[in-house]
Amino acid sequence: MVAMHKSDPTAIGVDLGEYNLYTACPVKMPDWKGAYTISGDDLCVQLDALREQTAALLGSEYDRDTIVAYVKDRRVALIEAIDAAARELCEYASAYEHPVLVTEDSHFKPDLWAWVTDPDAHRGTSWLLPIAHRRLRTIAAEYSIEVTTVPEEFSSQECHVCGVLGERPLNKTFRCTNPDCHVDGVYADHNAAKVLAQRYYPGQQCAYRPSRPTSPDDRPAVLADGGIAENNG
């Protein structure tokens, strides 16, 4: 458990995903069960439909400029929905004293055109998640809520209780592999949000125990230094 003083900021881990666009869990919460979720299902349906519609238009007699204008118009509606979700999250966070939203240090850049035209593009990493991250920072600024990032390594695999790397037998479920830990069958998004909140504070790192050989790129999570403040622009 992270030791806190009354005047300390309240770290609220925010995990971004497709099934749940935003999953928020304050570090003060005893466990993951009270995490706050905002569904991303409807946005995924809209993005899939836009991809199909764009493919049909590209195979029709419409010129490229007309199709680009159509995609831009749909983008406005999608961002309005994401902004509404971000505002809902900020309203939730505002109930806590000195809230700080803590997210992963993501390196993806949003490219909606890539999603609708590239058959190999991933819906989340090509547009939805990076734009949701950017819009969250923008909306949080309206609420005067700080947004910061922490290292993302293994945040979706680390147990929020003992720090050992666990397993995700089902995409939406996390199971800790530490026989001395009670965590089993936790929603993966909820677990990740709790981990991110904990990484905001100095001294929080995962107890790295890989169950299989890793490549040089698979590094343990580095020690969190209190987060790297983001530009909310």
In a domain, 163, yes or no: yes
Amino acid at 67: I
In a domain, 106, yes or no: yes
pLDDT at 37 over 60: yes
In a domain, 89, yes or no: yes
Q: At what angle do helices 64-93 and 41-58 cross, to 10 degrees?
A: 170
In a domain, 4, yes or no: no
In a domain, 179, yes or no: yes
In a domain, 2, yes or no: no
In a domain, 5, yes or no: no
Higher-pLDDT residue of 22 and 174 is 22
φ, ψ of residue 215 to 5 degrees: the values are: -85, 165
Q: Which domain holds residue 216?
A: 10-229
In a domain, 88, yes or no: yes
**pLDDT tens digits for 162-199?**
877 878 776 777 878 888 887 777 888 888 899 899 88
Lowest mean pLDDT across 51-65, 99-113, 157-171:
157-171
Number of domains in the chain: 1
pTM of the predicted model as reported, rounded to 2 decimal places: 0.81
**CA–CA separation, 110 and 54 (whole Å):** 18
Cβ contact 99:93 at 8 Å: yes
The rounded mean pLDDT for the chain is 83
φ, ψ of residue 11 to 5 degrees: the values are: -75, 130
